């Protein structure tokens, strides 16, 4: 969804700016560019492609300058072309801007500016800001005033950064519904869409809020409200994430590294201060109506949570995809929405949060990124502590969120008297086995799964099936597969299969079935009847399960035996590995699949 970086320093900034957009590439990678201020004015270099390849053609690191802004793009308005990549310049070349978000009234503004004689070099919504500032500067002769006047004209969502030849030592930036973070360094200050942008240089961070702007120099800065111009005293937050953890550490891809990090991420989730989960369970108990809300993977995690609350606490909490929440939910002032999000910046999820707030309801969040909008806006936040997740495709963040939702379900069951302290303690003790078991799944099965992936990566259509709690796991497995392999993969409940999709089963459609352990008698039998139905139609079936049923499955990935409560935490890991190895065999861009971005900050 586009990433923004900026550096102002007493030293040359090109290396730090380049590293900044490299770190932000997960937010968009169809094109990128930089703008520097130096003695000859503003120099812009940009082109289509990944940051490294644009660096080869445009030599982004070789420009002299102590002030610069940069951008990685995920196209929304205008095709992927050099002209549409950011930064964008005003007609007179005195202003350059980068933007993340969508300016909803850009057409009207562009028409108006054209009437005033402005010529546009791109099809983007973003370019209007550069021309607007130029126009207001003509009147005010003050860059800050011109910037805020221009901001007053734009509608929609934005994080903007602007440099100007009239104020050569400064970056002007502002935020409205798109993330923007400042880094406070030593004789250098930074700007980024997140703090990963500059974490190698400073851990001191200021999170801008909606409706605020900042003026940043190398050794100073101030923040103000856009509307009133009133100064805002922003707290500095010290980030505890180690920049080293955001490196690949010898793994060929972040996705594989993050799959391997899952046991540790789960241990961190289990080690969180229990008070956060207790408070969440109390909020659920106090509310008349609750929702679990996320989108994409976090919607599937919410669905998994829905099952966990039903199974363990006899409490039905519907999961709603954040993008449909405002169309579907009817919250009141005694409703609670529990938001699940890795980034804490997803537009649809934040929009759903605003919706519940407007209804007077309360909100809780399970979120990975410190200081993110969701983490700061929710009434109660549980920071999941999974460490940076860099691959666009979510793995370790999702499985850790599942752990926290299980803890909350158990806590709720205890509060309502469904589970005694002893029973709850017993399940929790068993839970502590999950990370070790997942480690074994990774160590013992990776090579076998790689073999299967190589053998079957030519198959273009995949069905993922599960029943009960294994149904949302099948949905998430299919999502992993399609986003990273670009193959058609559909997740479905075993029961639903009979109601239409069975007609697609033939030798070209392969099915992966997530099979519960045999102790789950009914669920197991029902799952196996789906397998029979597929086999009867000549379908090929790979099982991921705990028991060896050789005659029915064409292939089986065997998982270690665990208690039936914990079993659902295992199948997602071989599913992630299978998706990874199929993508590897097809030579896909695994960490940055085409058309995707990690943090979807536009509607």
Q: Smallest Cα–Cα separation from 487: which of 578, 384, 366, 417?
A: 578
Q: Please compute Rg for the chain using Cα positions.
A: 25
Active-site residue (options: 2, 32, 176, 391): 2
Q: Which of 148, 202, 394, 457 binds ligand F6R (CB under 6 A)?
A: 394
Binding window for ligand F6R (CB under 6 A); candidates: 214-222, 244-252, 341-349, 377-385: 341-349
Helix locations, 233-296, DSSP H: 254-260, 262-270, 274-286
Q: How far is CA 64 from the centre of its chain?
A: 34
Residue of 302, 346, 381, 530 interacting with ligand F6R (CB under 6 A): 346
Q: Which is nearer to ligand F6R, 218 or 593 (CB)?
A: 593
- Token pair 């969180």 in the structure block, residue: 272
Q: Is 190 helix (H, G, I), strand (E, B) or coil?
A: strand
Which range binds ligand F6R by CB under 6 A, 4-12, 343-351, 404-412, 522-530? Answer: 343-351
Instruction: In angstroms, give the least distance from the CB of 403 to ligand F6R.
Output: 16
Contact with ligand F6R (CB under 6 A): which of 118, 600, 601, 602?
600
Alpha helices by DSSP H, listed for 346-463, are 347-358, 373-377, 396-415, 421-431, 434-456
| CA 548/CA 122 separation, integer angstroms | 60
298 near ligand F6R, judged by CB under 6 A = yes
598 belongs to the catalytic site = yes
482 among known catalytic residues = no
Site for ligand F6R contains 383 (CB under 6 A): no
For residues 460 to 489, the per-residue mask of contacts with ligand F6R, x marking binding by CB under 6 A and - elsewhere, is -------------------x---x------
Q: Which of 55, 157, 342, 457 binds ligand F6R (CB under 6 A)?
A: 342
Q: Measured at the alpha carbon of residue 228, what is the angle toward residues 225 and 229, in degrees to the nearest 5?
A: 60
Q: Select 404 or 541, whichever has its Cβ closest to ligand F6R.
A: 404
Rule CB under 6 A: is residue 297 a binding residue for ligand F6R? Answer: yes
- Burial (CB < 10 A; 0-12, 13-18, 19+), residue 271, is exposed
**Considering the complex, what minimum distance in angstroms separates the CB of residue 197 from ligand F6R?**
17
341 contributes a contact to ligand F6R by CB under 6 A: yes
Q: Which stretch binds ligand F6R (CB under 6 A): 269-277, 336-344, 422-430, 544-552?
A: 336-344
- ∠ Cα 586 589 590 (to 5°): 85
Q: Which residues inside 435-454 make contact with ligand F6R, applying CB under 6 A?
A: none
Show the tokens assigned to 145: 């005033």
362 binds ligand F6R (CB under 6 A): no
Given the rule CB under 6 A, which of 52-60, 113-121, 339-347, 537-545 is the region that contacts ligand F6R?
A: 339-347
Task: Out of 22, 204, 480, 598, pick the active-site residue.
Answer: 598
44 lies in the site for ligand F6R, by CB under 6 A: no
Note whether 393 binds ligand F6R by CB under 6 A: yes
Long-range contacts of 246-255 (CB under 8 A, 24+ apart): 246/23, 246/196, 246/199, 246/388, 246/390, 253/391, 253/580, 253/584, 253/590, 253/591, 254/389, 254/390, 254/391, 254/591, 255/391, 255/393, 255/395, 255/484, 255/576, 255/580, 255/590, 255/591
CB of 502 to ligand F6R, least distance (A): 28
Q: Three-state SS for 156?
A: strand
Stretch touching ligand F6R by CB under 6 A, among 115-123, 291-299, 403-411, 495-503: 291-299
SS3 content of the chain, % helix, strand, coil (to 5): 40, 25, 35
Give the footprint of ligand F6R on residues 222-241 (CB under 6 A). none
| Residue carrying the six token digits 């399609």 | 482
Candidates 65, 183, 263, 296; binder of ligand F6R (CB under 6 A) is 296
* Under rule CB under 6 A, residue 295 binds ligand F6R: yes
Question: How many residues sit in the footprint of ligand F6R (CB under 6 A)?
Answer: 15
Q: What residues line the site for ligand F6R (CB under 6 A)? A: 295-298, 341-343, 346, 349, 393-394, 479, 483, 599-600
Catalytic residue positions, numbered: 2, 598
């Amino acid at each position: 969804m586009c990433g923004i970086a900026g550096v102002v320093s007493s030293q040359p900034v090109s290396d730090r700016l380049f590293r900044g957009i490299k770190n932000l590439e997960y937010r968009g990678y169809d094109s990128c560019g930089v703008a520097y201020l130096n003695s000859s004015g503003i120099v812009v270099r940009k082109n289509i492609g990944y940051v490294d390849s644009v660096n080869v053609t445009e030599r982004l690191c070789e420009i002299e300058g102590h002030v610069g802004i940069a951008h990685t793009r995920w196209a929304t308005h205008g095709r992927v072309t050099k002209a549409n990549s950011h930064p964008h310049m005003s007609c007179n070349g005195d202003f350059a801007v980068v933007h993340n978000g969508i300016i909803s009234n850009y057409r009207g503004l562009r028409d108006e500016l054209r009437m005033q004689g402005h010529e546009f070099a791109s099809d983007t919504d973003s370019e209007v800001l550069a021309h607007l500032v130029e126009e207001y500067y003509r009147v005010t002769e003050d860059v800050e005033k011109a910037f805020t006047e221009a901001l007053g004209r734009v509608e929609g969502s934005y994080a903007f950064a602007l440099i100007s030849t009239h104020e050569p030592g400064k970056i002007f930036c502002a935020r409205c519904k798109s993330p923007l973070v400042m880094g406070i360094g030593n004789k250098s200050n930074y700007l980024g869409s997140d703090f990963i942008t500059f974490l190698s240089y400073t851990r001191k961070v200021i999170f801008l809020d909606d409706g605020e702007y900042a003026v940043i120099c190398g050794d100073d800065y101030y923040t103000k409200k856009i509307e009133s111009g009133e100064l805002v005293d922003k707290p500095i937050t010290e980030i505890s994430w180690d920049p080293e953890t955001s490196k690949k550490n010898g793994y060929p891809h972040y996705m594989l590294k993050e799959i391997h990090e899952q046991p540790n991420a789960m241990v961190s989730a289990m080690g969180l201060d229990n008070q956060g989960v207790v408070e969440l369970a109390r909020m659920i108990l106090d509310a008349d109506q609750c929702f679990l809300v996320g989108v994409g993977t976090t919607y599937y995690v919410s669905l998994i949570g829905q099952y966990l609350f039903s199974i363990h606490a006899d409490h039905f909490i519907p999961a709603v995809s954040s993008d449909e929440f405002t169309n579907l939910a009817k919250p009141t002032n005694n409703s609670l929405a529990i938001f699940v999000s890795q980034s804490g910046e997803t537009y649809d999820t934040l929009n759903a949060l605003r919706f519940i707030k407007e209804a007077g309801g309360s909100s809780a969040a399970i979120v990975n990124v410190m200081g993110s909008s969701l983490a700061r806006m929710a009434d109660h936040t549980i920071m999941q502590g999974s460490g940076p997740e860099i691959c666009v495709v979510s793995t370790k963040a999702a499985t850790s969120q599942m752990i926290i939702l299980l803890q909350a379900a158990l806590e709720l069951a205890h509060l309502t008297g469904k589970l005694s302290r002893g029973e709850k303690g017993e399940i929790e003790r068993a839970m502590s086995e999950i990370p070790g078991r997942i480690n074994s799944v990774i160590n013992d099965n990776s090579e076998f799964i790689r073999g299967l992936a190589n053998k079957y990566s030519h198959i273009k259509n995949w069905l993922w099936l599960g029943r009960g709690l294994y149904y949302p796991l099948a949905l998430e497995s299919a999502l992993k597969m399609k986003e990273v392999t670009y193959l058609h993969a559909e997740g479905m409940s075993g029961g639903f299969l009979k109601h239409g999709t069975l007609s697609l089963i033939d030798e070209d459609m392969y099915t992966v079935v997530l099979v519960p352990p045999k102790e789950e008698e009914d669920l197991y039998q029902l799952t196996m009847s789906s397998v029979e139905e597929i086999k009867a139609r000549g379908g090929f079936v790979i099982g991921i399960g705990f028991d060896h049923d050789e005659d029915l499955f064409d292939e089986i990935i065997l998982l270690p035996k665990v208690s039936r409560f914990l079993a659902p935490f295992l199948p997602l890991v071989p599913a992630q590995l299978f998706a990874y190895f199929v993508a590897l065999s097809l030579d896909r861009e695994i960490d940055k699949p085409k058309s995707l971005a990690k943090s979807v900050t536009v509607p």
